[in-house]
């Protein structure tokens, strides 16, 4: 996430209590400052206390790492979940099939574990299909060539900015059975087993693939399975026509929509509908 560290150097107010997000990060850093640090820790925490041990960690880097955690580790997963619920509400047949599989696999188990995914091929396929259509980071993270490179007959000089186009593979018609539709069959073979095509790369590709891929996959599976096990999600009658067009940004997010929720069993008691969007309050 080097571009976030670049942003910190270009926007010096970050972490000072001024500007968007500054107060939040500033409070975190200030709270940390108030703690008494042991001398051996101060040598790596404060520039004036550093010795000759080669440490380069600074407060600016601390703030950059906090930004990495907030934007890369939280925003992407939460927006992927919003896309997943949007598709599940408008494809009740897919939701019901996932819930049936979840019920069969978990049975009387108190809670799901990440290992349960191996026995839930359809649910796995649904989650991956939601990620594919969410196309969370269509341009991934920009890279730069470190040396003169030749690729497919093209000469790429050292220092060239490389912008990968992940959307091109996530929607490539030659790579997917249903490239423009929400259909978990894109990740199932003829025997109903889960398969992951090479064209599936929402976390980018290569040596600098997203470091949070493992955490994101675990979060998406456990959150969706836990919620689908207990709740039924539906499109409210007065919510209008679903709009799948994303709002483009550093990461994509769905347009604001209303989410209907019912408790499974107990007569399908309706919990209500809640809005989602930039200023939503998700209360399930």
The pLDDT tens digits of the residues spanning 3-22 come to 334 444 443 444 444 444 45
Residue 210, marked binder: yes
β-strand partners of 194: 188
> What's the pLDDT score for residue 25?
54
Of 46-55, 93-102, 244-253, minimum mean pLDDT range: 46-55
> What's the pLDDT score for residue 7?
40
- Mean predicted lDDT score pLDDT of the chain: 79
Q: Which of 197, 81, 94 lies closest to 130, judged by CA? A: 81
Summarize pLDDT for 221-237 with one digit per residue, the tens.
999 999 999 999 999 99
- pLDDT > 70: percent of the chain: 72
Q: Check if the beta carbon of residue 220 is closer than 8 Å to that of residue 127.
A: yes
34: tokens are 């108030």
> What's the pLDDT score for residue 121?
97
Contacts of residue 65, Cβ cutoff 8 Å, sequence gap at least 6: none
Long-range contact set of residues 28-36: C-beta below 8 Å, sequence gap at least 24: 28/66, 29/59, 29/62, 29/63, 32/62
> What's the pLDDT score for residue 49?
47
- Domains of the chain are 2-44+57-276 (1.10.630.10)
> What's the pLDDT score for residue 31?
55
β-strand partners of 155: 150
- pLDDT > 90: percent of the chain: 49
> What's the pLDDT score for residue 139?
85
Of 50-64, 78-92, 128-142, 200-214, minimum mean pLDDT range: 50-64
Summarize pLDDT for 110-165 with one digit per residue, the tens.
999 999 999 999 999 999 999 999 998 888 888 888 999 998 999 999 999 988 88
């Amino acid at each position: 996430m080097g571009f976030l560290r670049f942003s910190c150097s270009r926007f010096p107010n970050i972490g000072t209590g001024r500007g968007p997000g500054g107060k939040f990060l500033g409070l975190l850093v200030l709270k940390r400052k108030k703690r008494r640090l042991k001398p051996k820790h101060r040598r790596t925490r404060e520039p004036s206390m550093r010795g000759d041990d080669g440490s380069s960690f600074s407060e600016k880097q601390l703030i950059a790492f906090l930004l990495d955690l907030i934007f890369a580790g939280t925003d992407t997963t939460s927006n992927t979940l919003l896309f997943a619920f949007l598709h599940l509400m408008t494809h009740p047949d897919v939701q019901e099939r996932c819930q049936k599989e979840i019920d069969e696999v978990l049975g009387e188990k108190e809670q799901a574990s990440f290992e349960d995914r191996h026995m839930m091929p359809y649910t796995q396929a649904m989650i991956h299909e939601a990620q594919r259509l969410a196309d969370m980071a269509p341009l991934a993270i920009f890279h730069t060539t470190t040396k003169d490179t030749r690729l497919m007959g093209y000469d790429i000089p050292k220092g060239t900015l490389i912008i990968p186009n992940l959307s091109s593979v996530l929607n490539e018609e030659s790579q997917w059975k249903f490239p423009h539709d929400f259909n978990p069959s894109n990740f199932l073979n003829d025997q109903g087993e889960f398969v992951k095509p090479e064209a599936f790369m929402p976390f980018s590709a290569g040596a600098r693939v997203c470091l949070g891929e493992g955490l994101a996959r675990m979060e998406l599976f456990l959150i969706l399975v836990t919620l689908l096990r207990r709740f039924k999600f539906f499109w409210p009658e007065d919510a209008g026509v679903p709009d799948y067009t994303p709002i483009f940004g550093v990461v994509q997010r769905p347009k604001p929509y209303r989410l209907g929720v019912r408790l499974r069993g107990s007569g399908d008691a309706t919990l209500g509908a809640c809005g989602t969007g930039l200023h939503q309050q998700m209360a399930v």
